[in-house]
Structure 1
Amino acid sequence: MNERILRVLEFNKIKEKLIGHAGSSLGKEKVSLLHPSTNFQEVVKWQHETDEASQVLRIKGNIPLGGIFDIRPHVKRASIGGILSPGECLDIASTIRAGKIIKQFVEDIDIDEVTIPILRELVTEIVFLTDLERSIKHCIDDHGHVMDGASDKLRTIRSRIRSHESSVRDKLENYTRTKTKMLSDAIVTIRNDRYVIPVKQEYRASFGGIVHDQSSSGATLFIEPQSVVDLNNKLQAAKVEEKQEINRILQELSVLVANDQHSLLQNVQILTEIDFMVAKAKFAKDLNASMPTMNENGIIKMKAARHPLITDEEVVANDIEIGSDYTSIVITGPNTGGKTVTLKMVGLCTLMAQAGLQIPALDGCELAIFDEVFADIGDEQSIEQSLSTFSSHMTNIVDILKDVDEKTLVLFDELGAGTDPQEGAALAMAILDEVVARKARVIATTHYPELKAYGYNREGVVNASVEFDIKTLRPTYRLLIGVPGRSNAFEISRRLGLEENIIDKAKSLTGHDSQSVENMIASLEESRRKADEDYENAEQVLQEAKDMREELEQRWKQFEQQKERLFKKAEEKAAKEIEKAKREAEEIIEQLRNMKDQASVKEHEIINAKKQLSEAGVNLTDDDKEITENAKSTKGELQPGDEVKVLTLNQQGYIVEQISKQEYQVQLGIMKVKVKRKNLQFMKRPEPVKEKPLATVKGNTYHVKTELDLRGERYEDALLQLEKYIDDAVLAGYNSVSIIHGKGTGALRKGVQKFAERHPSIKSHRMGNMNEGGSGITVMELG
C-alpha cells in the first residue's frame, strides 16, 4: 500500500479520529504507526483483538486505562546510571499501578460472560512490581515532592531547617516591629535564597550585614542584617544537606528501577497493546461498526455500508457485493450522484479492515485481503509537470497496469474522462477489458453512455447506477446494482420549464438505439423499485409468520405444562383415596384384633391383610400409563429445574439453564455438562416447594418423628429443613435424633456434620452404625 493511495482514500483522516480514542501517549504513538497489512493471519488476529475489546466495552461499559505514561526514556536513563527526578519516579509508580488495575479487571471478568483469550493472555504477562511501587510511594507524595519520611536523616535535616528558618524570621520580624521608620516596608522577603528586609538607603549603616539587592530607584536596599548572617549560613548549609540526601534517595530509587527495567518495559509494551485495542473498539462503537469476516478470495460483501467520514445525518447506506458472481462493477449516471463517494467508501473500508479496524456496515459483512489497492480518483493533475487532466489520469493508470493481478483492488473514477468522448469511451472499455482479464477486482465510474451496455456482453462484469429522483431533481445516493444510469436530461429540462417542442426536436435528433437504451434503463429502474417493494412486503409477512410461530410455541408450552399438572393432580387424588382406604382398613383390623378372643379370626390373617394394604399404591390403567410416558418423553421446551435423563450417559439430573435452542446445561451430581436436546428425556417438572411443618402441636405436646430424611433435597433447602427440625425435636424433648442424608457425593453429609458442630442444642454427633444405615445417616445427641 503506497502512501499516495492512503492519502487519496483519506486513510490518514481515519487515523486522526482513532488517535482521539487512545488513552495514553503510548496508544497514540501506536495509532500513528498504523498501516494496513497484507498478511491474512495478522489481519485476522488484529480483527479479533478489536472484537474482544468491543465485547468488554459492551458488557462492562469501560476499561480502566488511566495513569499510563511513556516511561521508556526514564527506564533507559536509570539503566545507564542516571538519577531520575521525583516526577519521573512518580510516573513509573503510576504505570505499575495501572498495569495491576487492568490485569485485575480482565481476570475478574466472568469466563462465561465473554470470550477474550487474547486479552487474558496479554494480562498474564503483566508483572506486579509491588515492591518498587511501594518504595516510590513511600518516598514521594502525589505532588512529586520527596517526603520527610523517605529517610530518618532527611526528617532530621528538615526539622533543623524549620528550626533555623523560624529563628531567622523571628529576628527579622523583630526589626519590622521595632525599626519600622527605617524600612521601606515592614516585611521579610528573600533574595539569593537568603532572608532579608527592605531598608531605606539612608539607614544602611544602622543594620550592617550584607546587601543582596536594591530597588530600581536605588531608594531601597535588601539587607541581610549582621545578626542573622550566621543563622542564614546554617540554614543554607542545612538545605545543601537536604539536597544531597534527596539525591541519595532518588539514586536508590533509580537503581531499583534499573533492576526491574525488563519487567517495566514489558509492562509498557502490553499496556500499549491494550490501549491500542481499546482505542479501536471505542472508534468502532462511535461508527456503529461491525467486525468483518476476512477472506483471501477477493470477495467483498457489505450490507448497509456507510462512508466512515460522512456524518450519520448525511450518509446514505448502500449494499456492495463483488468477487463471487462478478469481479467488476461499472457505475454510470450523472455527476454529483454519489459515484465517487461509493468508490472511496469501498476502498477505505478495505484499508480499515486490513488495518484491524471494524467497518461501518451491518453484521455479517465480508472483506478480502488485497496485496495492493489502486485508485485513480479526482483531478490529480501535476502542476510541476504541466500535465493536462487526461494526461495526469493516464499516467496513474499506466502505473496501475504495471502491477495489477488477482490480488488487487482497482478503483477508477470517471475512467477515460478529459478527452474526446468517443475515444475516451473506447479507451475506458479497453482498459477495463485488460484489468478484468487479469482477474483483478474493479469498480469504475463513468458517465459515458457507451459503457451503459458494457456489463451486458462481458462475463464477470455488472452495471450499476446511482438513483436520481426526477420529482425533486436530486440524487438519492442509493446504489442500484444491475441497473445502468441514464442521463435524465429530457426529464430534468421538462421539469425546469423547457418548451415541449424543443424537447421533442432534441429527441428526434437522438439516435433510435440511444432512445431504446434509455427506455430499457427506465424499465429496469421501475422493475428494481417494484422488486424492492415486494421484498419489503415479503419481509413484513415473514416477520408476522415468525411472531405467529412464537405465539403458537408459547401456547403449546402452556398446554404441555397444564397437561403435566393434570396428571400430577390425578395421581395425588388417587394416592389420597388409597391412603383414606388404608386408614379405614387399619381401624377395621384394630377392631378385629380387639375382638380376637371372641371370634375365630387368627393373628397371621390380620398380619397378611395389613401387609397387602401397605403394598397398595396408585395403579393407573394401561391407557393412563401410556399417556404419562408420552408426557415424560415430550419434545417440548425444557425449563430450569426440570428433572431429565441424559440418554448418552444413562444418568439423571436436572436442567440448570438453556444455552441455545437445542442445547442445555444439566447438573449431574457435582458436575455440570452441556447436552443436546435430542439426548435428553424429560422425567418430571417439580411442583413449587411448599414448606411443610416438621412437627405438630396437640395441647402442650410436640409430635415430631425421631428421624429426618433429607435425601433428594438440594443442599440449601436441606440445611433449612434441618435447622427447623432440630428446633422442633428439642421442643419435643428428644435426647437423640437420626438424620438420613444418604451416601452420594458426601457433600450433604459434610454439610449436616458442620451444622451439628456449631448448633448449640447438639451435644455430639456420630456416624450411624451398620445396622442403622452406616455413613448414610448421622445420629445427633441433643441437650
Structure 2
Amino acid sequence: MISQKHLDTLELTQVLHLLAECAGCEDSKQLALNVAPAESLGQAVRQLNFTVDANTFSARYGYPALYRVVNCAGALKRAQLGSSLSLRELLDISLVLRSMRSLDSWRKQFMEEQSVLDGLFECLFLERSLENRLNSAIVSENELDDNASATLSDLRRKIRQAQLRVRGQLDGMIRSSTYQKYLQEPIVTMRDGRFVIPVKSEYKGEVKGLVHDTSSSGATFFIEPMGVVELNNEIRVLENKEQLEVERIIAELSALVGAFSEQIDAGYGAMVELDLCFAKSRLADRMRANIPTLTDDGVTELRRARHPLIPYEKAVPIDIAVGKDYDTLVITGPNTGGKTVAIKTLGLLTLMAMCGLLIPASSGSTVSVYSQVLADIGDEQSIEQSLSTFSSHMVNIISIVGQADECSLVLLDELGAGTDPVEGAALAVSILETLKNKGAKIAATTHYPEIKMYALETKRVENASCEFDVNTLSPTYRLLTGIPGRSNAFLISERLGLDGEIIERAKEFVSTENTRFEDVVSELETTRQQLEAERETAKRLREEAERSREEAAETAKRLEKSTEKELERARTQARQIIEETRLQAEILFEELDEIKKAKDKENFSDLLGRSKLSYRGAMRELEELSDPVSGSRTQDEYRLPRPLEKGDIVFVTTLNKEGMVLKKPEGQSVLVQAGLIKTSVPLSDVRLGPAKKEQKKRQGAAAGKSSRSGVISRGSRDVKNELDLRGLDSEQAVMELDQFIDRAVLSGLKSVCIIHGKGTGVLRTAVANRLRSHRDVASFRLGRYGEGEDGVTIAELK
C-alpha cells in the first residue's frame, strides 16, 4: 500500500476532495475521500471500467437523480429487532426506497446494453408497496395522515365533531349579552388541551366552571364552563385513543420496514457505490478527462497531460513518459520553469488512474500500475527535529531507496540540492544509479551539469528540459524531452540590469568543461528552435496545401453541380424540341391526309411537289433542332417592328409555317393558328408577315386556290365522335378539345365523348371549364355506368 505521506505530497488528497464535491450524499462523499490506489492491474482496470461505463451512459442519457438520502442502518437494525421508529426515520427510509427506484428507472433506458455497473443495479431493493405505504401514511415527521387507518380516520372525525360542539356552546356564551360584561375578551382559547374563556377576575364567581389558568397580571381567569366539561372530557378520551392508534400504526410500519431491513441496507450500499461511480464521471467531465490505457509493465506515457489542480485555461499541456525508451528522466531548466509541476503531473495522474479516475490527458495515454509511488518533493525542513533542507531531503530519500523496487515509480525534486554542489552532484548521481539498478522508474529535477552529463552518457537515462523564452525572461512551461536545459543565470541577470563586468568576471570562475558543456547545450537549443521554426513553417505550408486541396475539391463539386444544371437545361430544351417536333409532325400528317384525299385530282402532282418541298424544309428545321446539349440552334437576331395584334399573319420559324395571331401576346408568348394547329409559341420564334390590308387578299387567294385544287374542306371529312386526352397537360388538352369540337360541329355531330381518365382530376376540371364556356356546347355531363363513369365527359353540341 502506498504511504499516505506520498499521496499527500502528490496532492491526491485534494483531487479526492474535488471528487467528494461531485457526490450526492454524505456516505458517498466519505467513500470518495477514502478512495485509494489499486494494488494490482486487475483491480485498477475494474475500478476504471466502472467509471468509464458511468461516464458513457451519463453522456447519452444524462445523470440519474439521486436525492439527499441519509444512512438508515441504525434505524433499520432497531426495526429488525422490533423497535418502533420515529416518523422522521420512516420518512428517511421512504426516501432511500424512492432513490433506488429512480436509479432503477434510469437504468431501464438502456436495458439491452451490457455494463459492469449491472451488478450494483441488481443489488438495488425495489419494494413499491412498502414505499407507497410509508408515503401514504406519513404526512410529515410530526403527523400521520388521517387515512393511515380506518380507526384513526374515525377517531379524528369524532374529535373534530366534539370540538365543534364545544366551540359552538362557548361561542354562544361569548356572544350572549349576559356573559359579555364578564369576559376580558370575547374569544375562545385553550389551556391544557381544554377549551376555556377569559373571564375578568372580579367576575370569576359569576361564571360557573373550572379555573385552568390565570394571566400573569392576575386580571384574567381562564375558566372552563360547567356546560362544556363533559364535552372536553370526551375530547380528551378520544385524543388518548388517537394517540394509541398512532403508536399502533407506527409500530406496524416499523415492523414492515424491519422485515426488509437487510435488503434495504444492501440496496443502500449499492446505491452509494453507484453514486461514487457517477461522481467520478462528473469529475472527469469537469476536468475534460479521457480514458487511459492501464498496464503493469512499468511504461507510463502521458500525452498533452495537464495538472488537474491548475485551471484548464492556464494549464500548459506536456508530453512526459518513462519506462519505454528510458527508465530515468532527468529534467533541468531555470527556477519556476515548471520542472516540479511536470513530475507532480506524472505522479498524480498515475495515482488517479490507479484509483479508477479518468485523467486530464489526451486519448492514447498509457499508465502503468505500480506497487509503490514514492515522492520527495518540496522543502520539508523542521526546526523541531533540527533538520535542514538537505537533511530533510536525505531522510526521505533514504526511506525511498529502502522501499524502491522494479515496480516503483520514484519522483525526486531538486536532487542533491542544499549542500556543497560538488558533493551534492556526486551524491545525486550515485542515488540515481542505485535506484536505476533496482529497476525503479525515476523522474528527477536538478540544476547540476554533472547529472545532465550522466544522462547523456548512460543508457536508458534521458535528459529533458523546461523551455524558457530568453526574450521575455519567462518560462513557457513546455517540456522538451531529449534536450538538457540551461539555468540561464547569466543571461537573466544581464537582462535584469546586472553590471556586465560582474557577469564577465563570474564567467571566468566557471570551469572550462562547464563552459564548453553549456555552449553545447546552447547550440542544441538554437538548433532545436530553428527546427521548431522550420516545423511550424512546414505545418503552415501543409495546412495551406490542405486548404488548397479542399478549395479544389469544392471547385470540382461546384463544376459538377454546374454541369448537372447544364444537362438539366439541355434535357428541358430537348423536351421542348420534342414537343415542337410533335407539332410539326402533326402538320405533316394533316397535309398527307389532304394529299391522299386529293390523289384523283388533276393538280395532284403540284400538291405533292409542294408537300415534298415543305417536308424537306421541315426536316432541315428538325435537323437544326437535334443538338440541344451543344446549343447548336442559331437564329438571326430579329426584332418585331411593332407589337402583334389579333389577326396578324406571322411566320413561325420553329414550325416553318405561316400562321395567324389568335389574340394579343401575353408575356413572351403568343397564341397562333398554323394550319390545323393552335399553339402558343415564343415571340422570338415569330416573324411579322404581310400587313392587314393584304391578309384578306391572301386569305381569298388561298381559299380560291384550295377550292381549285380540289382539297376537301375540314367540314366534309369523317370525324370520330370520341377524343382521348389522356397523357396531355391541361393547356394541350384544351387546344385539342377546341379543334375536336370544331371538326365535330362541321361534321354535324350532336354528341361527343371526351376521354380524360380519373387520375387526380386536374384534366377533368380543365375539360369541364372549357366546355362550360364554349359557344358550340349546349350541355355536358360525366359518363354513366358502362360509358366510363368519371373517366369520360359526354358533351351535347348545338
TM-score for the superposition, normalised by structure 2: 0.67
- Which residue of 1 is the match for residue 38 of structure 2? 37
Query: How many angstroms apart in 1 are the aligned matches of 2:286 and 2:292?
Result: 16
Contact 2:292 2:364 in 1 (8 A): yes
Query: Which stretch of the first structure deviates more once superposed, 188-197 or 439-448?
Result: 188-197
- Which residue of 1 is the match for residue 168 of structure 2? 170
Contact 2:67 2:99 in 1 (8 A): yes
CA displacement at 1:439 relative to structure 2: 1.6
Q: Does the residue aligned with 2:532 lie in a helix, a strand or coil?
A: helix
- Which residue of 2 is the match for residue 432 of structure 1? 432
- Which residue of 2 is the match for residue 240 of structure 1? 240
Q: Does the residue aligned with 1:108 lie in a helix, a strand or coil?
A: helix
CA displacement at 1:405 relative to structure 2: 1.1
CA displacement at 1:549 relative to structure 2: 5.4
CA displacement at 1:503 relative to structure 2: 1.8
Contact 1:694 1:704 in 2 (8 A): no
- Which residue of 2 is the match for residue 479 of structure 1? 479
CA displacement at 1:430 relative to structure 2: 0.7
CA displacement at 1:27 relative to structure 2: 2.4
Q: Within 5 Å, which residues of 2 pair with 1:33-432?
A: 33-66=34-67, 68-109=69-110, 117-119=115-117, 122-123=120-121, 126-141=124-139, 145-174=143-172, 176-177=174-175, 179=179, 182-183=182-183, 185-207=185-207, 209-432=209-432
CA displacement 1:467-500 (0-9 Å, x = unmatched):
3333333333332222323222222222222222
Query: How many angstroms apart in 2 are the aligned matches of 1:116 and 1:31?
Result: 25
CA displacement at 1:354 relative to structure 2: 0.9
Alpha carbons of structure 1 residues 306 and 159: separation in structure 2 relative to 1, 3 Å: same
> Which of the two has higher C-alpha Rg?
2
Alpha carbons of structure 1 residues 426 and 223: separation in structure 2 relative to 1, 3 Å: farther
Query: How many angstroms apart in 2 are the aligned matches of 1:552 and 1:76?
Result: 76
CA displacement 1:429-486 (0-9 Å, x = unmatched):
1111111111211111223343232210121111222233333333333322223232
Alpha carbons of structure 1 residues 175 and 384: separation in structure 2 relative to 1, 3 Å: farther
Amino acid at match of 2:355: A
CA displacement at 1:124 relative to structure 2: 5.0
Q: Does the residue aligned with 1:311 lie in a helix, a strand or coil?
A: coil
CA displacement at 1:402 relative to structure 2: 1.6
Alpha carbons of structure 1 residues 500 and 32: separation in structure 2 relative to 1, 3 Å: closer
CA displacement 1:113-147 (0-9 Å, x = unmatched):
xx662345644554542222222233234777422
Q: Within 5 Å, which residues of 2 pair with 1:393-542?
A: 393-542=393-542
Query: How many angstroms apart in 1 are the aligned matches of 2:101 and 2:308?
Result: 35
Amino acid at match of 1:59: R
CA displacement at 1:569 relative to structure 2: 13
Amino acid at match of 1:536: E
- Which residue of 2 is the match for residue 19 of structure 1? 20
Contact 1:201 1:218 in 2 (8 A): yes
- Which residue of 2 is the match for residue 654 of structure 1? none
CA displacement at 1:22 relative to structure 2: 1.1
Aligned length: 632
Q: Does the residue aligned with 2:116 lie in a helix, a strand or coil?
A: helix
CA displacement at 1:702 relative to structure 2: 11
Query: Which stretch of the first structure deviates more once superposed, 12-21 or 123-132?
Result: 123-132
Alpha carbons of structure 1 residues 522 and 227: separation in structure 2 relative to 1, 3 Å: farther
Query: Which stretch of the first structure deviates more once superposed, 187-196 or 436-445?
Result: 187-196
- Which residue of 2 is the match for residue 8 of structure 1? 9
CA displacement at 1:164 relative to structure 2: 2.2
CA displacement 1:4-53 (0-9 Å, x = unmatched):
11222222211211111112234223213211112212222222222222
Q: Does the residue aligned with 2:302 lie in a helix, a strand or coil?
A: strand
Query: Which stretch of the first structure deviates more once superposed, 303-312 or 692-701?
Result: 692-701
Amino acid at match of 2:483: V
Amino acid at match of 1:81: G
Alpha carbons of structure 1 residues 314 and 204: separation in structure 2 relative to 1, 3 Å: farther
Query: How many angstroms apart in 1 are the aligned matches of 2:246 and 2:267?
Result: 28
Contact 1:494 1:500 in 2 (8 A): yes
Query: How many angstroms apart in 2 are the aligned matches of 1:39 and 1:734?
Result: 91
Alpha carbons of structure 1 residues 65 and 694: separation in structure 2 relative to 1, 3 Å: farther
CA displacement 1:367-419 (0-9 Å, x = unmatched):
11111111112222345533333222222211111221121111112222232
Alpha carbons of structure 1 residues 531 and 295: separation in structure 2 relative to 1, 3 Å: farther
Q: Does the residue aligned with 1:480 lie in a helix, a strand or coil?
A: strand
Amino acid at match of 1:96: L
Query: How many angstroms apart in 2 are the aligned matches of 1:552 and 1:107?
Result: 50
Amino acid at match of 2:274: I
CA displacement at 1:161 relative to structure 2: 1.4
Amino acid at match of 2:44: V
Amino acid at match of 1:98: S
CA displacement 1:757-782 (0-9 Å, x = unmatched):
xxxxxxxxxxxxxxxxxxxxxxxxxx
Alpha carbons of structure 1 residues 496 and 233: separation in structure 2 relative to 1, 3 Å: same
CA displacement at 1:551 relative to structure 2: 6.0
CA displacement at 1:154 relative to structure 2: 1.3
Amino acid at match of 1:23: G
- Which residue of 2 is the match for residue 655 of structure 1? none
Query: How many angstroms apart in 2 are the aligned matches of 1:458 and 1:13?
Result: 37
Q: What 5-or-longer segments of structure 2 have no aligned partner?
A: 590-725, 738-751, 761-781, 786-798
TM-score for the superposition, normalised by structure 1: 0.69
Alpha carbons of structure 1 residues 453 and 703: separation in structure 2 relative to 1, 3 Å: farther
Alpha carbons of structure 1 residues 352 and 204: separation in structure 2 relative to 1, 3 Å: farther
Query: How many angstroms apart in 1 are the aligned matches of 2:363 and 2:784?
Result: 69
Query: Which stretch of the first structure deviates more once superposed, 449-458 or 384-393?
Result: 384-393
Query: How many angstroms apart in 2 are the aligned matches of 1:523 and 1:175?
Result: 111
Amino acid at match of 1:370: Y
- Which residue of 1 is the match for residue 611 of structure 2? none
Amino acid at match of 2:498: L
CA displacement 1:643-666 (0-9 Å, x = unmatched):
xxxxxxxxxxxxxxxxxxxxxxxx
Query: How many angstroms apart in 2 are the aligned matches of 1:47 and 1:438?
Result: 29
- Which residue of 2 is the match for residue 617 of structure 1? none
Query: How many angstroms apart in 2 are the aligned matches of 1:373 and 1:693?
Result: 86
Q: Does the residue aligned with 1:304 lie in a helix, a strand or coil?
A: strand
Query: Which stretch of the first structure deviates more once superposed, 496-505 or 211-220?
Result: 211-220
CA displacement at 1:704 relative to structure 2: 11
CA displacement at 1:695 relative to structure 2: 14
Amino acid at match of 2:79: A
Identity %, equivalent residues: 40
CA displacement 1:81-125 (0-9 Å, x = unmatched):
2223333333333333333333333322496xxx66234564455
Contact 1:292 1:364 in 2 (8 A): yes
Contact 2:63 2:278 in 1 (8 A): no
CA displacement at 1:187 relative to structure 2: 4.2
Query: Which stretch of the first structure deviates more once superposed, 188-197 or 422-431?
Result: 188-197
Q: What 5-or-longer segments of structure 1 have no aligned partner?
A: 589-691, 709-720, 722-731, 736-783
Query: Which stretch of the first structure deviates more once superposed, 193-202 or 404-413?
Result: 193-202
Contact 1:106 1:119 in 2 (8 A): no
Alpha carbons of structure 1 residues 444 and 150: separation in structure 2 relative to 1, 3 Å: same
Query: Which stretch of the first structure deviates more once superposed, 401-410 or 115-124?
Result: 115-124
Query: How many angstroms apart in 2 are the aligned matches of 1:143 and 1:734?
Result: 83
Query: Which stretch of the first structure deviates more once superposed, 252-261 or 173-182?
Result: 173-182
Q: Root-mean-square deviation (CA), in Å?
A: 4.7
Query: How many angstroms apart in 2 are the aligned matches of 1:22 and 1:309?
Result: 18
Q: Within 5 Å, which residues of 2 pair with 1:667-746?
A: none
Query: How many angstroms apart in 1 are the aligned matches of 2:58 and 2:157?
Result: 51
Amino acid at match of 1:14: V
